[in-house]
Structure 1
Amino acid sequence: MGAHQGRRERTRVRTDAAAASRAAAPKALTATHFRIFVLSALFLLAIYTVVGVARLERSGADSAEARAAGPAVLSAGLAARTEAVVARTDAALSAAGTLLARLPTAPMDAAEAALGAAKPAVRAVAVVGDDGVRAVSGDVQGDWTRAARAAAASGRSLWVGQIGRGAGGHTYAARSVTLADGRVFLVAVLDLTGALPQSDPASALLIATPEGAVLTAEGRGGVADSLSLKDALHTDQVSATPAAGVLPDGGQVMVAGQPVADGALVAVAATPGKAAAGALAPDRLIQLFSLLAPLGIGCGLALLVFLQIRKGESAQKAHAEAEKRFRVAVEAARCGIWEWDLDEDKVFMSDITATMLGWGGAGMVAGAEILERVAPDHRDRVRQSLESARAYGAFDVSFRVLLAGRNAVWIDARGQTSGEAGKGGYRRILGVMLDVTEERVTQARAQAAEVRLRDAINSVSEAFVLWDRHGRLLMCNKNFRAFFSLEAKLTKPGATYDAVRKFMRLAVKQEHAALDAGAGVREAQMDDGRWLQISERRTAEGGMVMTAADITAIKLQEEARRLNQEQLEEAVENLEHSQIQLAELARKYEAEKIRAEGANRAKSEFLANMSHELRTPLNAINGFSEIMVGEMFGPLGDRRYKEYCGDILNSGQHLLALINDILDMSKIEAGKMNLSFEPLNLEDVVEDCVRLVRNRAESTGLNLIVDLPELPEFEADYRAIKQVLLNLLSNALKFTPHGGRVTVSGERRRDITGDRLRISITDTGIGISEEDLARLAKPFEQIESQLSKTQQGTGLGLALTKSLIELHGGDLEIRSKPGEGTTVTVVLPVHQTGVLAPAAQVA
């Protein structure tokens, strides 16, 4: 039964191979077809050349008669010559189109062939597709894309027209060719000057478009420099019937025209009436050469093409023989050959490949049948590799093949695409297959043994590393990397002993030989404080194995015993010294206590005296100066007296405020400041403070703004809070330049300490640098130096403000940037229960 099945499979695959050969047979006729196409194009070119020569002869014989017949005859002769130029161009473009259809990947060959066949009537040829200009041959840089679009819009098989005007414009002829990837246009730049013979000086010849644009012209009256029939002849339309016209120089002429190339062009002639005698005959020899030269060039190109075809066939034959020798060599090495047609999903297999996959012999099979024999869990991998090969050209995959009655076979398949990629990618893959079942089994066993060995090494608590006899690393465990702080990339197999040793030393603080442990054993202290006992021994093969055990616990016990002994001895010694020191400290403490109490009494007496001695005269100074400033008992006389009294009043008030600040600061530092807490409304306190400083703000041109929402009552000392706000407002007004703004705002917030009020005073003044913020709120600290200061003050305002806020259990926050202004925020608790400052509780 199995033998019959094998014979049936061999018969089927060989039948498929024969069918594939028959399918491929017509492709061998491609070279013959190409020869027929080239010969047909040459034959067509020859016919057009013969027709052109015949017309040239007829025009030469009838030239005198034609010139005598007037503009109608001249325009007819010009039309015939122009028609010959267009026909020769059409033949060249047709032949090039045939060549391009055969070799779409060689557009330059087609352009050069058309240019060589149509010279001198054509100056340049370009191949234009949807993706742009593919090739250009010739000495003219034309507007190829625009010409191709005009040809596509015309719908003609051969389009002739003009793109551009003046020196930058050209006459174009275009023919379309349909390729596999779309329609392509062969566009040529025409040179129609060859169609103009040497004319009578009294006449003029022109070739124009039906719209009246002059393509080329020759003759009298400046028509050669005209861009349109309107400029040249003062007429827009011409016909075969002569009509009156006017040359640019004012000469009166008769004008007649004939259509050319199915109306794509118009041949126009203008004469003063009857043809003048003695007109020069055209140079027929040159014109005859211009007709025969393209035919000769075409024959030469055809010969070159045939030689290239013969050379390609020889190369193909040599390639087939080399491929045959390659197959014999590969199969001798038990390597199977295969070729996969992705479009038809057919696979050709050699005998060895067929044996690997379970078929009886070489032949052609469907790709789906091969995939059925691939293990189910590997089929997607094979399909993905096929799609990747279609897109990128390389195929490399390993898979298992399940065969009936046999163990699974592992196969490595590698291949490369052949041919050019189409729209859908590459079509064919050629490659080899190897049976790697034994290698896979051996590799799996070796990997399993290596895994078990590595697991055993990694499970031990010691560090382990093995080097070969050349000093290269073979393996190590994770503890080795952890003990010496090594990265995984430094301990890859193959790393040298010296390189790894260099990084190991970076983690070692000190090391020395271990006592009573034998040769090759040493102790090392690591940078992180751990102690390792390192042992190095040679292997039988000349390599080296190193182990390292963590002995930190033992070292710590030894160190702890030593430290305990030293600490005990030091404690006994310190106890003896401490008794002497305590006696001396007790004596010094008593003396310092007596001195401090005396200083405190002296300070209190000094402050009391200052309060009485300074405030009494200041009250009199301030009172009398205020009476004098107000002129309560009549004018003082000279106005300068009033100014002097105002200065005395201001100085006295400043001195009194300074004394009050110093006394308040002293009370706070002594803990004797008395606060009286009562429910307060923030708006009332702010209103009182603003009323006191508003005149000062207006006099200095500042805008004082109060922006307070509805806030609850809070418990505080009225006088202290008023003093805090006055101090902050005074500072803001003092350091804000003319035209600035000072804003008082507030809000209520809840945090982990409870309800708190935030009162902010923001100004647009000079600001404070970050390094100066740390010095604020200290007694007698000022930002300006004594030599450069511009404002009066002792530096007690912020210090007193901060102390009063802290007595309320609050905080003072300052944010500022130089040149942008300052924001000072006072944070106060709404309720004082349980958060009173010590001084306030004493009071």
Structure 2
Amino acid sequence: MTFSAVHPDEAERLALLHSTHLLQAQGSESAQAFQALARMLSRLLQVPTTAINLIDSHRVQALARTGLNLPPLARSDAPCTHLLQTPQPVCVRDLRDDSRFQHLAANTALQGMVAYAGVPLWVDGQVLGTVCAFDAQARDWSDEALAHLQDVATAASAMLLGAVTAHRAQHAEERVRTASLAGSDWLWETDVNGQLTWVSAGLLQHTGLEPETEIGMKVTSVISPRDDDTRASWDSYQQARARHAPFQDLIADRNTPRGRITVSISGTPILDAQGECQGYRGASRDITRQLSAEQAARRADQLLRKAIETFHMSVVITDREGMIVLANRHWRQSMGAAYEPGQKHWPSILRQLTLSGDYPEAVGREEEFLHWRLGLHHQDRAHEIRFRDRWLLVRDETLDDGSTVHFAMDVTQTRENAELLTTQRQALHDSEARLSAVLRALPDLWFVIDADDRYVDGHMDHPQLLGEMPKMIGQLMGAHLPDDIGQRQRDAVALARASGQPRTLNYDLRGHDQVLRHFEARITPMPAGQLLYLTADITERKNAAEKLRVSEELYRSVAATISDGLIIIDLDGRVVALNPAACRILGLPAGLPSLNEAVGSAFDLLEDDLVTPLPRERWPLSETMRTGLRVTDRVVPARRADHEIVWLQMSANLIRVDRDTPPFAAMATFRDITRERLTVQDLALSEERWKFALEGAGDGVWDWDMPSGCMYYSTRWKQMLGYEDHEITDTPEEYFLRVHPEDRDAVAHSTMRFVTESVGVQQVEFRLRHRQGHYLHILSRGKVVSHSRDGKPLRVVGTHSDISVLKQAEQAERQREFAEAASAAKSEFLSRMSHEIRTPLNAITGFAQLMRLQMGQGSGDNPLRNYIEQILHAGRHLSGLVNDVLDLQQVEAGIVKLKPEPITLADELVQCLSMLLPMAEQREISMSSYIEPDATVLADRQRLRQVLMNIGSNAIKYNRDGGSVVVRAERQADDTVLLSLQDTGTGMTAAQLARLYQPFERLGRETSSVAGTGLGLIITRSLVESMGGHMDIVSQPGAGTRVSVTLPGAHTVGPQDEVAELRETPAAVTPEDGSPDWMTVPATPMSASADLPALRVLYVEDNRINALLFAEALRPYAEIALDIAEDGDIAMSMARENPPHVLVLDAHLPGMSGFEVLEAMRQLPPLADAPAFMCSADAMPEDLARAKQAGFTGYWTKPIDIVAVTTELCRLAQTLPRVAHNATP
């Protein structure tokens, strides 16, 4: 026990003492227990008097005693009081000689007591008393006596603490009972099945039900879920019960004599010492009224919120602290991207908007604006402010509870309407002024006529005016003109006024020169019954129109007779003319009501894909009008009115009256060239297909005219051989002389078949010489396409296909299959080599281990011990060499299976350095590390440890005595981790570094005392690269070596599973070469016990030497009984007769394999779950994986580690009474 100092507050100690109630507990069961402790202490110490005392404020009272009948003593008269000031054990040989206790010699109650020993009695951090012993003779108290005193004091303290705890629990229970009656809750308790085992008395008060009526009922039969928004609490409760987790605020209904009520229930699980759930404790409360009130409040709140959401103005409600309680949709939308759901502080939002410039009027005076805006609730009126590009009418109202409602209405449109009205009025005024100015600037004669047909205004000095304008004001319209003309003017004015629409009037009138001229007047109604009379002299235009009419008649007669289509449009894009041929070509019917409508929508010019309409600006007519350039014979596709596609050849040009005048229209002529186009396309398509077929296939074509002896070679045929088109003549020799000598007979035979058979396609494969000297593999196909009348071939046409790539692929496939076969053979050889080496090596190293164990752990110079050490050292070296060769084979074959995971580099380095420390200490090499805490890599844990152990052991093995090794790990900028090991060894030259990664290369250290195989670094570098990293080695003679490993970094470290599913033989690291040391710690044989059964081990091994080794290894262990069987049949018989506790199986057995033996033994009920170990010389990864899948507990690779094997079996023997199966013979 660990004791703290006595609390200085004596009142706290006395309160704790009185809470035990043991000062008044004489004669109780607890007092009898204390008395038994006192008697036991008297027997143990062999003293006449012992006591268990409690120290009150003024006395020392014996809770239990033996010997003297001591009455309660004053604190000053008792030696025990000293322990309050110095709470440590006190031993006094003679009270009479000790100055601390000489004043007690006169105490008659203690007469005859000379020696004293006491220890404090601690309870809950306080010294409540002592456990002491008296002897009538002076004596020295031994350590054993003090231990007895301390043990009794510990027991007494525990009993006193139990009394305190019980009193506190009782007091707490009374408080809970009283509180439950006074409160609104009642308490309950259930078992693990949900049955009520206790209900507090508050149930009667709150429901009218007696608590006893609930006992034994299931909770789910008492309450039921509600079909409303509280249903989720029932689902949460069910999930918590399933997980044995606490639950809170389960809302449910239940029936009571007072009617159906709603309750809120919370509970927590009751867990035993093992953490198993034994039931629940909790509380229930009637919330019927509360729930109804809350639901009503929620409904009212929801209605209010919905109403506010529908407002077409922004509404925000804030509390006293300025936090937003409610904000409607209109406000959220108006905020736009500035609205953040997490931001609820109204002043902060206003500040953010102000500083970001959303209030233009606040720019430059932000703080002043914020102070004014936040104080609007003190002003009883609305304000117009600018928010972004809108105008808002804002007002803040403070409510009785201190909250504030912020209103904002968008009045932008209202302001814009007012501004628009002002603008329109000004525009009207300006328009009237401009109209007056325009009228006076017009070259035509105009008048303004009032509602009585009288002149009110007019052109004052127009040359066509027949009269004086000032005199005409107020006169009847037309009064100064001939009667017929005046009457016609007044009739036209009346019609315009009646219809409200403009009218046109044409008439002839002689001017001042008495020449008859043509006039056109336009009469337009104006406000207030007035009219505008505008007249113009159209004499010249009318004469030009007549000339144009005659010209058009001439044009129409010409256009109707030509076969090409013709279309004319004016400069505004309106169709002026379209001849019959154009209607026929475009598929337009004759007699269309609207020429522009028909032409504009009935056909389209198209892109070359014959689907996409050609944009109007790219039509030939549009292009001519835009650029002024002539378009000649452009071919475009068109979709006719009947959706037929035609090809047109179009020309377009501008029309002028003469060269010096601007154009007034544009004309296009076109003809249908669809048939010609299709014919040309068919020919081009046929030619294109032929070219595409040849070019797509990549074949060369040859054409042999046999009578003339000429042979045509296509361009591709020549290119295949590396020649240009002009570099090969049209002779057969160009073909046949390039054939490979070995293939000429096959080509000649194929050629003869053209003459002899002349039917079908002839095919042959051969090689042709390329210009660069190499040969191409050619597949030649040919056919006679023309014969003479007597059947002789006249013309043969064929193709050459380059199949060199195909041939190379076939060769590569054959080489791949050969390489795979060689790799499989290599793996099989290595596996067999490993097995054949490990089997005799198991006997060599195994018996050497036994000899070393039998010789003991002495350190004397024993030649035999040295011989054994040399045997073990050679065995370890050979075993390590086999392991390295197997690892190297896996790396080279690319079959290393990696399980990358985030790994904290610091943890792995600490483990590896601790294993390497004994090796370093032997040579007095110091090791230091500087590792960043966040240096985490993504790697395979097992392979990473292999890498660290290899480079770490090398740094020690090739170092100098008394040297150092510095390990650093730091994260790089590119998210990788750099690990470096710097040693102070002899270093290496550049030539040695160049040979460093050669297999079995030791760099001249083959005969040195440093052990190794020359494969470790090759394997290490390959593993690093397999994990996505790289390794660099820098070294100089005399300057040591620095090994750097860069691995990909990781950000998080997942849970680490340190439990191996298949246990392998544990190994330590020796200071010599880093290989496993089989003799690290020998297992200690246990002494056989009559009541502890021996662990029965059945070892199935056909090799008698291995069986003998196993038997000799287990001979010193009486707690292990070994049976050996040579094959599976014998093993099955022995297992049926006397089922073992543990199975050890060799993989290769006569008849049944070790895997088959295990499968058969698992069928025996006693052996269904028995531990099973594979003991085999097979060490390939697939062997371990197969053993794991077969259900083996562990895997002992030969040569076995005898200490590890015996340690594992001894561990199983120690746990036998708890885990051994119940099958006995």
TM-score scaled by length of structure 1:
0.31
TM-score, length-scaled by structure 2: 0.23
Give the structure, 1 or 2, with the largest relative contact order (CA under 8 Å, sep 6 or more): 1
